[in-house]
Chain A
């Protein structure tokens, strides 16, 4: 005897769960991502791409950052103009930044920015030792 199975209707694939999942993913990415526009300044660079040490004794320009965050060059407030003039007199001079430990990060970053604007390419920050 042959029993014929009754044909069932194909189950309809509903799109609603797909929309739900995508909605959850959308909310997840919107909430967890950060949308700040960020840039960077190098602090330590590998020797391969670092600046080669000059052969002779190079002149040094010292920029001090005071405890309240002001940058000073030769006792005068640091400006792009003053550093550019000083660099014209000594084209391959090293620029050293000597920060006070009490200055804040914004002060250091502003001084580096001014020095970069003035065209200093051999720029070093004197690091402070860790207080024990």
Chain B
């Protein structure tokens, strides 16, 4: 005997649940990621587990392996960078500068820069490290 199953109408697919999921994902990625200007060259920070938590914000100086510099994602030479830092320092006295240096960069490209920043009047300079190697 053949039993005829009554055909059910297909359930209405609501777009509202899709919006909910996308909204959750959007908020998640906004909270987890940090919106930093990325340098125009490869920078992998040195590894150290003794670092402190990096606060948000601030001006970022990137130092490449070969000593090239970038300020907030824009490649520039050292004199221009220091002039720009002095301008920023004049606008905002408590300027926070973080240096994102490549782990293999030579210290002759880093330490004189820190001295120059200090002479420019910047009182808060940190070096970015990562607790886990990339």
Contact residues of A with B, CB < 8 Å?
A: 15-16, 18-19, 22-23, 25-26, 29-30, 32-47, 65, 99-110, 112-113, 116-117, 125, 127-131
Q: Given A33-B29, A46-B124, are A112 and B48 neighbors across the interface (CB < 8 Å)?
A: yes
Binding site for A on B (CB under 8 A): 15-16, 18-19, 22-23, 25-26, 29-30, 32-36, 38, 45-55, 63, 98-99, 101-108, 110-118, 122-132, 134
* Interchain nearest-CB distance for A13 vs B (Å): 12
Taking the closest CB of chain A, its distance from the CB of B132, in whole angstroms, is: 6
- Chain A's interface: helix, strand, loop or mixed, by majority? mixed
28 A-B contacts, Cβ less than 8 Å apart?
A: A19-B18, A22-B19, A26-B22, A32-B33, A34-B33, A34-B34, A34-B36, A38-B34, A38-B129, A40-B53, A40-B54, A40-B129, A41-B126, A42-B125, A44-B124, A44-B125, A45-B123, A65-B107, A102-B106, A105-B103, A105-B104, A109-B47, A109-B48, A109-B103, A110-B48, A113-B50, A128-B108, A130-B113
Q: Roughly how many angstroms separate A39 CA and B129 CA in the complex, as a whole number?
A: 5
CA distance A46 to B118 in the complex (A): 10
Contact present for B50 and A112 (CB under 8 Å): yes
Instruction: Across the interface, name the chain A residue whose C-beta is closest to B29.
Output: A29
Instruction: Say yes or no: B116 contacts A38, CB within 8 Å.
Output: no
User: Which residue of chain A is the closest to B38 with respect to CB atoms?
Assistant: A34
B48–A103 contact, CB under 8 A?
Answer: no
Do B54 and A38 touch (CB < 8 A)? Answer: yes
With A40-B51, A103-B107 given, is the CB distance from A129 to B112 under 8 Å?
yes
